[in-house]
Amino acid sequence: MQIPHFPEANHPLVKSLFHHSDQELLNLFQRYPDDGRYFTVIFCRYSPIVYTLIRHSARSPVQADYLFALTWRHIYYQLGGLDLNNPKIAQEALTLQNWLINITAISINEIELPPTEAIHYSLTATSPPLWCYVELALDQLSPLLRLIVLMAQTFHWSETRIAAYLQAEGENISPTEVASFLQEGYRILEDKLPADIRAIYLGEDFAES
């Protein structure tokens, strides 16, 4: 089994945080929710363990990659309220690694995966941290913009096909207008992504605020 390599691990913003302990990274993630680098470092540190556990349980590589991404999305939403020293979580001190292994086991046992042919996610195209922050940005789009962007990016529909679908749903939109909406959606999405995530994954310059 080959564990995926994630190029973001070599980005200077990520490498500069490798010396931090798990608890320090968790504190930084919770203290600065508008920054994406702390979650990305946690991902880079523990993705081999999580992927290994998932790959051994999934029926196909495509399902494994999708479950891996879903697990990290779940981890992202749980990390914000995680207190490793909370006695309600464990009788003795819980490490971040053990907590991640527990979350991964829950994902393996509880998430029902669709058939391989129904999965449109590509691990090589979108790393889980980027996927998490893009989803957060998508949530800030209007329903129509979000739908148009998803049809273009997830199903790779043309402007003409998207317009035809929307017209069938009662929206009087031309292919030209769809193209305009797409450009607007992409602009807003990029604007809503954290600056450090744009630097790590999109190659933009980053200036510490």
Q: How confident is the model at residue 94 (pLDDT cuts 50, 70, 90)?
A: confident
- The mean pLDDT value for 9-14 works out to 96
Predicted pLDDT of residue 2: 81
- The mean pLDDT value for 45-62 works out to 92
The CA distance from 147 to 138, in Å, is: 10
- Domain boundaries along the sequence of the chain: 7-121, 140-202
147-172 pLDDT per residue, tens: 999 999 888 899 999 999 999 999 99
Q: Does 91 have pLDDT greater than 60?
A: no
Mean pLDDT of the chain: 92
Identify the three-state secondary structure at position 86.
coil
- The mean pLDDT value for 178-196 works out to 94
**Which percentage of the chain shows pLDDT scores above 90?**
78
Tell me what percent of the chain is helix, strand and coil, each rounded to the nearest 5. 65, 0, 35
109-155 pLDDT per residue, tens: 999 999 998 898 889 889 999 999 999 999 999 999 999 999 998 88
Predicted pLDDT of residue 93: 64
Predicted pLDDT of residue 3: 85
The set of residues, in sequence order, having a beta carbon less than 8 Å from that of 187 and lying 6+ positions away, is none
Q: How confident is the model at residue 85 (pLDDT cuts 50, 70, 90)?
A: confident
- State which CATH number among 1.10.1740, 3.30.40, 2.60.40, 1.10.150 fits the domain covering 7-121: 1.10.1740
C-alpha distances out from residue 46 to 17, 140, 141, Å: 14, 29, 31
